[in-house]
Amino acid sequence: MDTNVVVDVGIYSWGANSYGQLGQGHVEDLLLPRLAEDGARHTLKLTRAVRSLSGGGGHSTVVSDEGELLVCGQNHRGQLGLGHCSEVRTFQLCPLIGHRASQVTCGWDFTLILTDRGQVLACGSNAYGQLGISEAVSHSVLLRPVQALNEPVISVSAGLRHSLAVTETGTVYQWGLGLSAQARRALSPETVPEHFTSKSPCQVPGLGHVISHRVAAGSAHSVCLTAGGDVFLWGCNKHGQLTGTKAFLPRPVLLDRTALDGERVTDIQSGWTHLVAQTESGRVFTWGRANYSQLGRTEPTNQCSGGPTTEATSQWACVPSEVKVLCGATQIVCGSEHNLAIVGRRLLSWGWNEHGMCGDGSKTDVSQPQLVPDLRPILIGCGAGHSMALCAVIGPDGEWKSSGDVEIFSGTF
């Protein structure tokens, strides 16, 4: 066994911090990464212990390899699952009595937790039925099981105000009214399909011929990735995030692989209105909304206008195109309109930067992936307007507190 291990790691955070979502103990935005309060490290004993980092509109979550859940930030709707609605400015353990978390996904003001037994727990706002629970409550400060999902779940995703899940049999479910208004406007006078209007998990039609194994939700669209490497898209197409020219897709539509040079997709990530896909050869393609530079590529000088809406979404942005500097990325995550990636042990960021979430010390949007200096990333995560990274820690003498190469962590989490 390789004995070259990192002896001290910690969670760095930066960007929007109005509710203490950075876990820093205060509510000031940070334009540069800073090590979060020591409470997170002491509580989790972070020595190769973190499985995932994720965030919502104003809250953050950390999942340990042991299935523990740490939370902080905005909690006005009980989205931290702590039994109260008070803001939390440093990471605290969320009690998962009898459960272990394997995945956590955050919507704007709600949270979904997938346990190691395939059960989904939910807390936070239920104003749009996004918790998928039977109780007619406006919000829940406690974790509640999504009982209508009566077979083990393998993937969950929280959109702005809707939710997705895929079960071990490859069946995809959707619930929450987050897309219903757009669906009514786009499909009138036709009837809106049930999966856009259900407050409990409803099977998404048109996917019975494939085995889905991962889902991703945007602000008003949905995505699933199949075991065979195909991507299906449905929902709002206002910004060309679903490709094509239709303003709304009521049923899942297959993404033409020719746009990806015929390659299988191995990973798909969604921001609010843009998508990032990685293929079997490691290439990375982006498409969708581009006005905050969230695609990581610049507009061609010979662009042609047009697209699915009267806002004249540029045709170049609606077509998947490769961002070559991201080839071989070991992890990519999306915030609402910004992104992080680990490529060759380096942390890259791009997109919306109003609150400093790109970590370059400025508030200027970043047009192409750029290095976030002075960090040795192991694992990354995004909230809507903030960023997090598990990294090797710099000691007081200015040296990395590591006896080896951080690369040994690849594939651990």
pLDDT score recorded for residue 47: 44
Distances, alpha carbon 252 to alpha carbons 184, 238, 287, in Å: 17, 16, 17
Tokens representing residue 45 in the block: 């004993």
**pLDDT tier at 43, thresholds 50, 70, 90:** low
Least confident of 89-103, 152-166, 215-229, 293-307: 293-307
pLDDT value at 303 more than 50 = no
* Average confidence (pLDDT) over 66-72: 95
pTM over 0.85: yes
Taking only the tens place, the pLDDT of each residue in 8-21 is: 788 999 999 999 99
Q: What is the DSSP string of 35-95?
A: EPPHHHHHHHT-SS-EEEEEE-SSEEEEEETTS-EEEEE--TTSTT-SSS---EEEEEEEP
pLDDT score recorded for residue 316: 85
Q: For a pLDDT cut of 90, what percent of the chain falls above it?
A: 83
Burial (0-12, 13-18, 19+ Cβ within 10 Å), 48: middle
Taking only the tens place, the pLDDT of each residue in 365-406 is: 999 999 999 999 999 999 999 999 999 876 655 565 543 333
Answer whether 388's CB lies under 8 Å from 381's CB. yes
Answer whether 52's CB lies under 8 Å from 69's CB. no
Tokens representing residue 240 in the block: 């060309």
pLDDT score recorded for residue 38: 60
At position 35, the amino acid (one-letter code) is L
Q: The dihedral of CA 19, 45, 153, 134: what is its sign?
A: negative
Rounded Cα distance, 76 and 141, in Å? 9
Mean pLDDT, the chain, whole residue set: 90
Domains annotated for the chain, with CATH where assigned, are: 9-408 (2.130.10.30)
* Average confidence (pLDDT) over 353-372: 98
